[in-house]
Structure 1
């Protein structure tokens, strides 16, 4: 079954939005206890997220960072929900190891948001608890003191894509697009991210979900090509295969299988 393409953030202090986010068509919702929640609302947000989870509501929980006074309470609260995945902000090896030790067996999404996180990324990607990498483009640009979040950060994206492959992880998750009134900006970001090896995107508004799901899906032409590759391979019975005048070798076969896997229905 294909990996999730769209991850929709919803503030943990806005419980009225939880069900709407879950019904938005996003493959996953991220119940945010970090950036979307002010210091004075952390306890209330945590309690509201726990109430939602206790009632069977879905969601990944973005916890507070290791450099904050709220992390310990977040982790203690999540012990009651062993099925819930956790997004680790400012993911660096020590922070990931700390969360994994206190929530053993928990799937972790590592959000790369700092220069130190990028410098030690391959260690993070190979941690057994980490199931996917995500790029926190806004925070990373600020930490790196690099203005802009588009092409100027592509070297970081390249490293994230490589680390994902090294760690045997799915294609990584692209960061957010903040322009909510510019659909073309979102489409451009999706197109560029896909070309750079990313397979999903963080969303900050429900209106972004459908374009993200569509933009990261294989095209009809890609699906047709993949089917013809595998059909020719099956018919060849071990002989050399050519499709569209090109010899079919292992990388093309792997790519064809990936495309058809990505074309499967969304995960439950």
Structure 2
């Protein structure tokens, strides 16, 4: 058995969340509020959200938060977005992670090399989500997918557009975005990683646009989404809910399958076979509450 694949299979369950809400490391007080708003994972951001001069103070604030939560026994696990490898801030972030054993994991900004992912995992024992934000990183995803400790991929589309020379907000950008999603989904599946996490939706006041984006990436097979504003969390959750028609169809399929035991049959004029049965079972397992 491939040891990297075996390791990835064992840790990918740590990234089953649908909503990942960023909180600046300079505003640790927002962590509790983020969970209260329904976020399934909270990412404390030590990278872009924190000016270089403020990073040391932000690390200290996060350490104090953990100490207080442990004393009060009200701890909720969080993820930490750390700075890119190869700079001084990266080493300081790793040192901080070593003092926070209850971290859920880390997001590596501007990931480009498998060795950096393995370095993080080796020195912290934490699972890593690789943020692909450059052409080099995108080119290296197959190599990074083999890294011990990698749980999943995500990507920074605006950074990628800048690096690739793509004009944001155009039909061409949409084509490129879907190509990136496809590459990450394919690579993640082949290497037995968790499905990738979609990038942020910058316009947090555009509910319809966000809902459409959620439906797109979920239909493509991605697992969740990075959120930049608390109001996005509820919209993502709602957009992911199946319709009543979809739930009823799944119930009819499973009822007929259990009644007849047949591997192929028709429901509502639609041919049902093993993949459809499996999809219906998964849908009901996840959403049926009665």
Counterpart residue number, 2:25: 12
Change (3 A) 1:46 1:264: farther
Instruction: Kindly indicate which of the two structures has a greater share of residues assigned to helix.
Output: 2
Residue number among 174, 190, 209 corresponding to 1:151 in the alignment = 174
1:52-201 matches, within 5 Å, as: 52-54=65-67, 55=69, 56-84=75-103, 85-92=105-112, 93-104=114-125, 106-148=126-168, 150-152=173-175, 153-201=177-225
**Which runs of 4 or more aligned residues in structure 1 lie more than 6 Å from their structure 2 counterparts after TM superposition?**
none
SS, match of residue 163 in structure 1: helix
Whole-angstrom distance in 2 between the partners of 1:259 and 1:196: 15
SS, match of residue 72 in structure 1: helix
Root-mean-square deviation over aligned CA pairs: 2.3
TM-score scaled to structure 1, two decimals? 0.88
Whole-angstrom distance in 1 between the partners of 2:266 and 2:203: 44
Whole-angstrom distance in 2 between the partners of 1:65 and 1:20: 27
Change (3 A) 1:50 1:232: farther
Change (3 A) 1:201 1:103: same
SS, match of residue 65 in structure 1: coil
Ranges in structure 1 where 5+ consecutive residues have no aligned partner: none
**Number of equivalent positions:** 264
Whole-angstrom distance in 1 between the partners of 2:122 and 2:265: 49
Change (3 A) 1:144 1:185: same
Shift of 1:52: 2.0
